[in-house]
A and B are shown apart, each in its own frame.
Chain A
Amino acid sequence: MVLDRHAQPNGNITSKLLFSSIGLMFFVLKCLMIIQKKASKEQLKKLSEHFDGYIKVVVDIKKGILAGGSDRHFDDEQTLLKNGSKQEDLWGGGYDTETQETDYNSIINLRPNQANPSRDILSLEIRGKFDEIVYKLLK
C-alpha cells in the first residue's frame, strides 16, 4: 500500500512529462512538411510559425522539393531521406519571409567528401539551385 501511494504521484509527474514531450513532438511534426509545389498561404504560415517568420529548410536540389518548418535541419533531412531523397542532394539553409532573403548555413552541410568542408554551402552552383527552389516554392 505504501508503495502504491508513492507510486501514484511519481506516475502523475511521469505522465505529465510524457504528455508535454509528446505535445512538443506533435507541434514540431505538425509544422514539419515536405513542399513539392508552390506553398499555399496556410502552409507558409505553418512553416514559419516556429521561428516567427524564419523557416529552416532542407532542399533536395535534384528533385526540386524541400522540407521545412522544424526545429532542426536533421529532422527535415530525415523526412526527405525517408521520402526517397539522396543524402548528396540535400542542402540546408534558411528563408526569412520578412526580408525574403535566404542563407546557406546548416549543421548538415558539413560534407568534406563533397568538397564542402563548411557548414555553409560553398558552391555557387548549389547556392543558385537552392535559391531557385526556395523562391519557387516559398516566395
Chain B
Amino acid sequence: MTAKAKILDIAMNLNRIGNWAADGYSGKKKRIRTFLHSTSKYLESLRNYNIPPSLDKTIKAFSDEYRQLESEGLKGPRDIVFWAEKMMTWGNILTHRSQLIR
C-alpha cells in the first residue's frame, strides 16, 4: 500500500466517524470507537512510509490534534457536533493534501 492510499484511508475514516457522530454519537459509539482505533493504527503505520516534505507539516499537525480528538472521542465529546466537524475537516484536509503525493 502506498502512503497516498494510507492517508486516504485515514481521511475516509475521519469523514465516516464525523458523520456518525453528527448523526448521533450515543447510538454509534461502539462503531466510532472501532474506527478511532483503526485510524490510530493507520496513523502509527504512516511512520514506515517516506512522507514527502510538502506533507510533513500537515501530518505533524494532524497527529498532534488527533491524539486529543481521539481521547475526547473515546470519553465522549463535550460538544459532539463541533467534535464531528473537526473530524470531517481533517478528513477533507488530508484528502486534498494526499494529492501532493504523485
Interface residue B58 (Cβ < 8 Å from any Cβ of A): yes
Type the 1/0 row for B8-38, where 1 means its CB is closer than 8 Å to any CB of A: 0000000100010010000000000000000
Asked whether B95 is an interface residue with its Cβ less than 8 Å from the other chain, the reply is: yes
B80 to chain A, nearest CB (A): 11
Q: Is there an interface contact between B57 and A52, defined as CB atoms closer than 8 Å?
A: yes
Q: Interface 1/0s, chain A 81-103, versus B by CB < 8 A? A: 00000000000001010110101
| Closest chain A CB from B14 CB (angstroms) | 11
Q: How many chain-B residues does the 8 Å CB contact rule pick out?
A: 21
Size class of A's contact patch? 10 to 19
When the two chains form their complex, are residues A103 and B92 in contact, meaning their CB atoms are under 8 A apart?
yes
Residues of B within 8 A of A51 (CB): 89, 93
Which residues in A have their C-beta under 8 angstroms from that of B92?
54, 94, 103, 105
The residue from B82, B84, B85, B96 contacting A96, defined by CB atoms under 8 A apart: B96
Contacting residues of chain A (89-133) with chain B, CB-CB under 8 angstroms: 94, 96, 98-99, 101, 103, 105, 107, 119
Among B19, B22, B100, point to the contact of A99 (Cβ < 8 A): B100
Q: Does B63 contact A (CB under 8 A)?
A: no
CB distance from A109 to the nearest CB of B (A): 11
A72 adjacent to chain B (CB < 8 Å): yes
Give the shortest distance, in Å, between A67 (CB) and chain B (any CB): 16
- How many angstroms between the C-alpha atoms of A106 and B91 in the bound complex? 12
Interface hits, B49-97 → A, CB 8 Å? 54, 57-58, 61, 81-82, 84-85, 88-89, 91-93, 95-97
In chain A, positions 66-86 with a C-beta closer than 8 Å to chain B are 72-73
Interface residues of A (CB under 8 A from B): 51-52, 54, 56, 72-73, 94, 96, 98-99, 101, 103, 105, 107, 119
**6 A-B residue pairings within 8 Å (CB atoms):** A51-B89, A94-B96, A99-B100, A101-B99, A103-B96, A107-B84
